[in-house]
Structure 1
Amino acid sequence: MACSQLTASSISTRNVVASFEGLRPVQFHCTHVTIGNPARRSFKGLVVKAATAVAPKYTTLKPLGDRVLLKIKEAEEKTQGGILLPSNAQTKPQGGEVVAVGEGQSFGKIKVETSVKPGAQVVYSKYAGTEVDFNGEKHLILKDDDIVGILETDDIKDLKPLNDRVLIQIEKAEEKTSGGLFLTQATKDKPSFGTVVAVGPGLVDEEGNRKPLAVASGNTVLYSKYAGNDFKGKDGYEYITLRSSDVIAILS
């Protein structure tokens, strides 16, 4: 009998054929789960991340060390024109309000406080932290270093980067080829350079001092592709936030 064989590190199939004839019952081939040597093909398992629910009997949640507790902003359910969005089209929010902060990070005898305070509106990195259902609302516990910047308005160009983060206005993609042909949206090559709008104060060294970044506002820079987080500004420009280490060069 043809079977599917699952191992601890891989899943392989041999001669498995499924047939459907009208409304006849379908006979499934047997499946064995074994632990043994990996097969020829292997892949990493899929991980489903779910929020951790805190029991109602707990009324306070105090983050430790350099961790921060955020209340997550809800995803937009409508477009600006009032059209309802299906759940799969709603963008995952990357912003929230600081609810509580830890005591900070220690460097020997020096203690550095977190870079944000309760009440601040912040933007954080995608997939950072641990989601928690607390007091009936969605929260996130993440490290201070995973917070990209403070954003008190709803326009990304007003972002105040933290630590070694840089906010860049991306150069608009070319509309034509060198031969004068118009490019479609799908064929436009996304540029990996732009103008620095704002920079963070730098990272803290072991002596508790901030080390200034090598780039400054107004610099035109080249940065690594696929780095950072992209945002759409109200002015029609695209922006990206990334670490200063992802900036490759200054153009002039």
Structure 2
Amino acid sequence: MATVHFSGSVTSRSLQSFDGLRPSTVRISSVRPCNVAVNQRSFRELTVKAANVVAPKYTSINPLADRVLVKIKTVEEKTTGGIFLPTTVQTKPQGGEVVAVGEGKTIGNNKVDISVQSGTQVVYSKYAGTELEFNGSKHLLLKEDDLVGILETDDVKDLKPLNDRVLIKVAEAEVETAGGLLLTEATKEKPSIGTVIAAGPGLLDGEGNRKPLSVAPGNTVLYSKYAGNDFKGIDGSEYIALRASDVMAVLS
């Protein structure tokens, strides 16, 4: 065990005089004993999750069944104004390019092919799939059902939803209360109302046929507040893509 002895003074002359806090000198004569035993086992293990690295000797990945392999879009490292962003504030990518697809799946007596092809730009659920480091790039291996939609242009408003997903343009947040009190950005309530811009073809039933969704483009809907993927369009408008089951009501 170690014993520490020290003496000296600590002067807080640089502190400003606040009520109840004045510059003072604290005398420390000695401290004994200071016996500290550090047991490395007492520290909890810190585990950092990294992508699974595929060895260079493997030159291709062939997804099975209804899985797809997506090359992840590179994370933005700086703003449009040229300001570099630290890792903590970089937006986690939610899209990429399909590079390989499985053979599909069988539902009942019907064989159902995957609805996307290699080269298609897609958006996927935030926390879906298994991340892989392959050929020097990050990829994601996930199920087709985890794909949110096909992005045909650079603007999210043109997203083509897949399966049971819907794309909603979020209503603008109220800027003042009913009594006329202006709200700051921090106090504005996150809206959970919006207009359906596009809807997917629906889920497959037990025979492999599409079941139409209960909402359609043009509907004003109330949706679950914490569901789906949030996006911002080129014009600054807010959008959200979510499952039709997260839509709670149609407003009229």
- Name the TM-score, length of structure 2 as normaliser: 0.82
The code of the aligned residue for 2:120 comes to: A
Residue matched to 2:191 = 191
Any conservation in 1 of the 2:67–2:143 contact (CA below 8 Å)? yes
Name stretches of at least 5 consecutive residues in structure 1 with no aligned partner: 1-20, 34-44
CA distance in 1, matches of 2:39, 2:87: 36
Post-superposition Cα deviations, 1:68-97, rounded to whole Å, max 9, x if no partner, equal: 000001001111111111121211111100
Report the alpha carbon displacement of residue 107 of structure 1 after superposing the two structures with TM: 1.0
CA distance in 2, matches of 1:243, 1:176: 31
Residue matched to 2:79 = 79
The code of the aligned residue for 1:233 comes to: G
Change in 2 beyond 3 A, CA 1:213/1:84: same
Report the alpha carbon displacement of residue 32 of structure 1 after superposing the two structures with TM: 6.4
RMSD after superposition: 2.2
Percent of aligned pairs with the same amino acid: 69
Change in 2 beyond 3 A, CA 1:176/1:205: same
Count matched residues.
220
Residue matched to 2:59 = 59
Change in 2 beyond 3 A, CA 1:144/1:47: farther
The code of the aligned residue for 2:233 comes to: G
CA distance in 2, matches of 1:162, 1:49: 30
Change in 2 beyond 3 A, CA 1:84/1:242: same
Any conservation in 1 of the 2:108–2:208 contact (CA below 8 Å)? no
Residue matched to 1:41 = none
**SS of match in other structure, 2:157:** helix
Q: What are the residue-to-residue correspondences of 1:1-252 with 2, within 5 Å?
A: 27-28=36-37, 30=39, 48-252=48-252
Mark the structure with the bigger radius of gyration. Answer: 2
CA distance in 1, matches of 2:139, 2:181: 49
Report the alpha carbon displacement of residue 105 of structure 1 after superposing the two structures with TM: 1.4
- Name the TM-score, length of structure 1 as normaliser: 0.82
Name stretches of at least 5 consecutive residues in structure 2 with no aligned partner: 1-29
Post-superposition Cα deviations, 1:206-232, rounded to whole Å, max 9, x if no partner, equal: 111111101000000011110111111
